[in-house]
A and B are shown apart, each in its own frame.
Chain A
Amino acid sequence: MIREYQTISEIASPLMMVKNVEGVTFDELAEIELPNGEKRRCKVLEVDGDVAVVQLFESAQGINLAGSKVRFLGHPLELGVSEDMLGRVFNGMGEPIDGGPAILPEKYEDINGLPMNPSARAYPAEFIQTGVSTIDGLNTLVRGQKLPIFSCSGLPHAALAAQIARQARVLGTDESFAVVFAAIGITFEESEYFINDFRRTGAIDRTVVFSNLANDPAVERISTPRMALTAAEYLAFEKDMHVLVILTDITNYAEALREVSAAKKEVPGRRGYPGYMYTDLATMYERAGRRVGKKGSITMIPILTMPEDDKTHPIPDLTGYITEGQIILSRELHRKGIVPPVDVLPSLSRLKDKGVGEGRTREDHAGTMNQLFSAYAAGKEAKELMTILGEAALSETDKKFAKFADEFEKRYVNQGNQTNRSIIETLDLGWELLSLLPRSELKRLKVEQIEKYMPKKEEE
C-alpha cells in the first residue's frame, strides 16, 4: 500500500511533521519528492493519531512545505543483499557509488536485524592470529568476537586496523573470508587509506565498503553501520563466510545519534547523549558472533576516538560495557615512537581464555599472558618510583622489573606495522623477556613450563 501526502506541516532538520496521514506505522520508510523531482528518504519515528513525525536521512535543504510530497512505502529501511556486493562500494543508504551496475538483490533485509537468540549462539573459541604480539599474546582475538580499538585523535589506529585486516587468519584453515568496511563520517583520506590497503593486498575483491564520509549527511551515519552489518549477516550466516567487520568511527555515529535525539527534544543523558545510547549501540555490536550449526562468523572491530583521551566519556564507556574487551592506544607510547602504540595494561580481551592453550595456541599461553601483564604492571610502578626517588632507591628486584618494562615496550610492543609475528614467535619472545626476572617472582607460571620454555641464560 503506497500512500502519498502533500501535508508536511513543519520541518526542523532532521525532523519533519506530516499531518492527516492514515495507516502509517512506526519505523516505516518514506520518500520525499521535491518540486524539482529530487527524492530523499526518511523514516517514521512516531505516529500520534493522524500526525507522523519522520526523520530525514539527508539534509532538509530545499524542501518546501507546500510543494513537496511524502510517500510512505509500507516497509522499514531495507538493504538488498547479494553475493555480488563483494568488491563494491556503497553509500550509507546502500546505493552503489562506484559507478558499477546496480545490484540484483537475492532478497531484501530489514537493516535493524533481529536480536540473536542467546541459546542459538555458539561461544567464540577459534584463535585468530593477527600477527600483532600485543593482541595475539596478551589480548587474544577469537572468531565471532567484538573487540574495539579505543584511540585518540592523532593516533595511528587506522594503521593497526589495516594491519589486523591484512594479517588475520585462523591457523590451519583455508576458509572463505570477507571484509565489510563501514566508513562512518571519516575523512576521504582515512577511508582511502583503508581501501588502498585492501587494494594493495588484493583483499578488495572480497570487501564490501559502505562509505559515509565527513561531508555526507550526518543523519545517514545512523544507518551506515546497520547496512554494513546486514550485509555481514547475510555473507556470514547464509553464505558461510568468515566476515571481519571494521566500523570506523563510532564517535561520529554517536554524535549523529545525539543530533537526532536533540532534535526530538528528548531528555538528554550524560553529556547530551540520549539515555538509550547503550541499547542502541548494543543492537549493533551484538550482531557480531557465531551461531550454532552455521559455518560463518562475524568478527567485529569497531574503532572509536575517545574525546579528550577520556576513557570514561560515554562513547568508550558504553562501548566497553558491551564489547568483549578493548584495545587501547596510548599517546605516551606513540610519543616514544612505539608502533603500534598499544597500551597493554588497560587493554583486554574477554574471550581469550577459551581461545588459548593447548590445541589452540600453546599450553604455556595463559600462564605467560598473566605473568607478562603483572610483571609489566610491576615494572611500570617501579619506573614511576624511580622518577620520583631516583634509581638508587629501588631494590634489586624492582630494578629488574623496571628494566623488564623497558625491554617489553621496546621489543614486544614495538613491532612495527609490517611485521607479521606467528603466535609461537610471540610466545617465545615473551619467555625471553621473562628470563630477565628472578625466578621466585614468576608465581603465575607452572614449574614444568618454566623448565620447558625458559631460555637458559648463557652467562650462568
Chain B
Amino acid sequence: MSGTITKVSGPLVVATGLADANVSDVVRVGSQRLIGEILQMKGDSASIQVYEETSGLGPGAAVETTGTPLSVELGPGLLTNIYDGIQRPLTEIRDATGDTIARGVEVPSLNRKKVWEFTAVAKAGDTVQPGDVLGTVQETNAIVHKIMVPPGVSGVIGSISGGRYTVEEAVAVVKDPKGGEHPVTMIQRWPVRVARPYKHKYMPSRPMNSGQRVIDTLFPIAKGGTAAVPGPFGSGKTVVQHQLAKWSDVDIVVYIGCGERGNEMTDVLMEFPELKDPRSGESLMQRTVLIANTSDMPVAAREASIYTGITIAEYFRDMGYDVAVLADSTSRWAEALREMSGRLEEMPGEEGYPAYLASRLAQYYERAGVVECLGSDSRQGSITAIGAVSPPGGDTSEPVSQSTMRIVKVFWGLDSSLAYARHFPAINWLTSYSLYVDTLKDWYDSQFPGFMALRDKAMAILQEEESLNEIVKLVGRDSLSAADQMTLETAKMLREDFLQQNAFMDEDAYSSYDKQFRLLGLIIRYDELCRDAMAKGADLNALFAIPARERIGRAKMILPGTYETEYGEIEKQMRKQIADLTAGGEDQ
C-alpha cells in the first residue's frame, strides 16, 4: 500500500493515503526508498520519522509501508560486525557506496551468502518448545551460536540435519499439534521496541569482574545489573566504557556508539581484534557486536540504535550467555528523542525533553537483568546495561541524568577535577555508589574472605580524608594529630597507588580480583603497622619515608604470575623496615 507525501520538515515527513498502515510500521519514502517509521496517525495521514537525510524530498513523492515494525535480524554473523542504528552493516555499505554513507542503501543485515556449519543437537521426533536449542554453529572461535526454536513455534521435530547452510535455509522442520509445518532457519526477526520473552527474572547475585580496581573493589556491579557513567567532557567516560567492553568477564559485548565520535568507533574496530580476552585467549572482537550511529549520522536512526543494541543483546542472553550492553551516550539518544518530539510539535517537558523521557529510559534499562531463558533446559542468561550520560556542563541536575539515576543501581560519577590532575579513571569515590554491595557481599566473602572488610576500611579512610582536607585548608597540615596525618597519607596511597589505573599501559589495564585484594591488603597493612609503630613512638616522617613505600607505589605495574611473590616480598620488607624504626625509637 502506498501514500503520498504532503509535508517535509527535516527528518519528519507527513504522508496521506496510509489509512491501513499501523503505528510503528517501517515505510519506504520517495524514489530513493529512504527508511522511515510511522510515529503518529491522524485520519489517513501519518507522521513518519525518516532514518536518513531527507534533502531533495518534497510533496507528491510516494511512501510505501512494509507492514512490519522496525525489526532486527538475529542469527549467525552478528558477532564481529559493525552496524548503524537500524542494523545496516557498515562494512558492506562501504563496499557498496564508498567512504561516505549514501542514502537508500539496501543491504541485508546478515550476510545471505555466507555458509555456516550447523551441528544438530536435537533429533527428529523430539518435542520442542520456544527457546529449545536445535543445534549449534561455531560463529567465532570464542562463541558457539545456539540455534533456538523461535518464540511462537512448538511441536515435534519433523526433520533436522547437520551440515552447511546459509542463514535463510531451513535447518529443521517443526510440526505443531495441528499438523502445521514450520521450517526453522538460522535467522530470527524481532521488533526492536519489544522485549524478547523469558521465563523468570531473578535478583542479580554474581559480580561482573571489570578488571578496574575502583569499580570491582569500591563500586561493584552485578551481572544483570544497571549502571550509569555520567561526566563532563574530557573526564574519561569513553575510556571507562572501552575498558569495560574490553575486560568484563561476560560472554558477549554489545557496544552502542550512539551519537558519539566516529574515531572512537574506529578505535574499537582497530584495537579489539588485536586484544586478547584474558580468559578465553581469543581476540576480543570475537565476542563483540558494534552499533555505530555517530553524531554526524542521521539523528532518527540514533534514537533507534539503543533498541537495536539491546535486542541483539537479548538474543544472545536467550542462548544462556552473560551479555554486557554499553551505550555511549544515552544523552545523545535523549536529544534525538527531543528533536523528533519538537518536530511533532508535542508539548515539551523539562528543558524541552518530551514528557515520556523518563519512562522510555526506564523501559530501556528494565530490559537488563538475570533471567531463566525460554526452553526446557532452564539455562540462565543475563544482560548488564551500562549507559554513559553526558550532562551539559557536567551538571547532573538535568533531566537525563536525574531520570537515569532514579533507575540504575550503580552510579560511577566522573569528576573533571580528578581528570585535570590526570587521576584516571576519574570516578569520584565520594559521589559514586553501588547498591549491589550488600547483594554481592556473600559472593566476595566466599571467594575472597576479608576483601569486604578491606573495602570498608578503605572507603572510611577516603571519606575521612575529605573532612580532614577541609581542616588542612584552614589551619595547615602540621596542626593535625599524628593519627590524622597518617590517615591523609594512607588516603593518598589509596588514591595514587590503588585507585589510579592506566588504561593505556598493558601492565595496568586489567587487575584480577586476587591482585586487587592483595594490593589493597598491602596498603591497609601499611596503615595498620604504621599506627602500631606510632603508638610505640616511631617518627611519623621516618615511617612515611621507608624504602618499601616506593615499591608499593609501583606495585600495580607488576605482571600476573609474579605479583603474588613480589607482594609477599614487599610486605616482608615493609614489616622489617617499620619494625626497625620502632626498635630505633625505643633505643633513644
Any B CB within 8 A of the CB of A121: yes
Considering the chains assembled together, what is the distance between the CA atoms of A121 and B257 in angstroms?
Answer: 15
B296 adjacent to A115 (CB under 8 Å): yes
Q: Which of B120-128, B146-154, B178-186, B415-423 contacts its partner?
A: B415-423
B54 adjacent to A27 (CB under 8 Å): yes
B392 adjacent to A312 (CB under 8 Å): yes
B99 adjacent to A117 (CB under 8 Å): yes
Any A CB within 8 A of the CB of B514: no
Any A CB within 8 A of the CB of B91: yes
Chain B residues with Cβ below 8 Å from A366 are 504
A393 adjacent to B478 (CB under 8 Å): yes
Contact of B58 among A24, A117, A314 (CB under 8 A): A24
Chain B residues with Cβ below 8 Å from A27 are 54-56
Contact of B54 among A26, A275, A289, A311 (CB under 8 A): A26
1/0 per residue, CB under 8 A from B, across A408-444: the answer is 0000000000000000000000000000000010010
Q: Which of B18-26, B309-317, B335-343 contacts its partner?
A: B335-343
Any B CB within 8 A of the CB of A377: yes
Contact of A275 among B6, B233, B339 (CB under 8 A): B339
Nearest-neighbour CB distance to chain A for B48, whole angstroms, equals: 13
Chain A residues with Cβ below 8 Å from B332 are 278
Nearest A residue (CB) for B52: A115
Chain B residues with Cβ below 8 Å from A407 are none
Q: Which of B65-73, B259-267, B272-280 contacts its partner?
A: B259-267
Nearest A residue (CB) for B393: A312
Q: Which of A44-52, A85-93, A212-220, A241-249 contacts its partner?
A: A44-52
Considering the chains assembled together, what is the distance between the CA atoms of A24 and B335 in angstroms?
Answer: 29
Nearest B residue (CB) for A293: B99
Any A CB within 8 A of the CB of B160: no
Nearest-neighbour CB distance to chain A for B78, whole angstroms, equals: 16
A123 adjacent to B266 (CB under 8 Å): yes
B8 adjacent to A115 (CB under 8 Å): no
Chain A residues with Cβ below 8 Å from B475 are 389
Contact of B352 among A23, A25, A268, A313 (CB under 8 A): A268
Nearest-neighbour CB distance to chain A for B17, whole angstroms, equals: 14
A286 adjacent to B422 (CB under 8 Å): no
B99 adjacent to A291 (CB under 8 Å): yes
A270 adjacent to B94 (CB under 8 Å): no
B90 adjacent to A377 (CB under 8 Å): no
Q: Which of A11-19, A152-160, A317-325 contacts its partner?
A: A317-325
Any B CB within 8 A of the CB of A282: yes
1/0 per residue, CB under 8 A from A, across B269-305: the answer is 1100000000000000000000010111111000000
A276 adjacent to B299 (CB under 8 Å): yes
Nearest B residue (CB) for A144: B263
Any B CB within 8 A of the CB of A385: yes
Any B CB within 8 A of the CB of A346: yes
B393 adjacent to A325 (CB under 8 Å): no
Interface residue count for B (Cβ, 8 Å)? 80
Considering the chains assembled together, what is the distance between the CA atoms of A388 and B469 in angstroms?
Answer: 14
Given A114-B102, A389-B476, CB of A26 within 8 Å of CB of B55: yes
Contact of B296 among A26, A267, A283 (CB under 8 A): A283
B56 adjacent to A28 (CB under 8 Å): yes
Contact of A322 among B54, B261, B342 (CB under 8 A): B261
B82 adjacent to A46 (CB under 8 Å): no
Any B CB within 8 A of the CB of A171: no
Chain A residues with Cβ below 8 Å from B395 are 312
Any B CB within 8 A of the CB of A209: no
Given A27-B54, A266-B342, A346-B416, CB of A317 within 8 Å of CB of B233: yes
A26 adjacent to B101 (CB under 8 Å): no
B335 adjacent to A275 (CB under 8 Å): yes
B257 adjacent to A118 (CB under 8 Å): yes
Any A CB within 8 A of the CB of B568: no
- CB contacts under 8 Å to B, within A20-44, are 22-28
A278 adjacent to B335 (CB under 8 Å): yes
Any A CB within 8 A of the CB of B199: no
Chain B residues with Cβ below 8 Å from A26 are 8-10, 54-58
Nearest-neighbour CB distance to chain B for A241, whole angstroms, equals: 16
1/0 per residue, CB under 8 A from B, across A284-320: the answer is 0011010110100000000000000001111001101
Interface residue count for A (Cβ, 8 Å)? 79
Any B CB within 8 A of the CB of A116: yes
Interface centre among B7, B60, B392 (most CB of A within 10 A): B392
1/0 per residue, CB under 8 A from A, across B448-461: the answer is 00000000000000
Nearest B residue (CB) for A276: B339
Contact of B269 among A119, A311, A324, A350 (CB under 8 A): A119
Any A CB within 8 A of the CB of B104: no
A345 adjacent to B420 (CB under 8 Å): yes
Interface centre among A116, A314, A346 (most CB of B within 10 A): A116
Nearest A residue (CB) for B266: A121
- CB contacts under 8 Å to B, within A317-352, are 317-318, 320-322, 324-326, 345-346, 348, 350-351
Contact of A374 among B294, B339, B421 (CB under 8 A): B421
B55 adjacent to A286 (CB under 8 Å): no
Any B CB within 8 A of the CB of A124: yes
A269 adjacent to B7 (CB under 8 Å): no
Considering the chains assembled together, what is the distance between the CA atoms of A447 and B297 in angstroms?
Answer: 46
Nearest B residue (CB) for A326: B234
Contact of A48 among B6, B56, B351 (CB under 8 A): B6
A25 adjacent to B234 (CB under 8 Å): no
Chain B residues with Cβ below 8 Å from A393 are 476-478
Chain A residues with Cβ below 8 Å from B257 are 118
Q: Which of B361-369, B372-380, B548-556 contacts its partner?
A: B548-556
Considering the chains assembled together, what is the distance between the CA atoms of A279 and B338 in angstroms?
Answer: 12
Chain B residues with Cβ below 8 Å from A377 are 420-422
A279 adjacent to B420 (CB under 8 Å): no
Any B CB within 8 A of the CB of A177: no
**Pairs of residues from A and B, 3 with the lowest C-beta to C-beta distance, nearest first:** A312-B393, A282-B295, A25-B58
Q: Could you pull out 5 A-B pairs where Cβ atoms are within 8 angstroms?
A: A48-B6, A117-B90, A118-B82, A286-B294, A286-B296
Chain B residues at the A interface, C-beta cutoff of 8 Å: 6-10, 14, 53-60, 82, 90-91, 93-94, 98-102, 232-234, 257, 259, 261-263, 265-267, 269-270, 292, 294-299, 332, 335-336, 338-339, 342, 348, 351-352, 390, 392-395, 416, 419-423, 472-478, 496-497, 502, 504, 545, 549-550, 553-554
Q: A27-B55, A116-B296 are in contact. List 19 more A-B contacts (CB 8 A).
A: A24-B58, A25-B55, A25-B58, A26-B58, A46-B10, A114-B100, A115-B294, A115-B296, A115-B298, A118-B266, A118-B294, A119-B266, A120-B99, A237-B99, A286-B296, A312-B394, A320-B234, A324-B261, A393-B477
Chain A residues at the B interface, C-beta cutoff of 8 Å: 22-28, 45-50, 76, 110, 112-124, 144, 237, 266-270, 275-276, 278-279, 282-283, 286-287, 289, 291-292, 294, 311-314, 317-318, 320-322, 324-326, 345-346, 348, 350-351, 353, 366, 370, 373-374, 377-378, 385, 388-389, 393, 395, 440, 443, 447
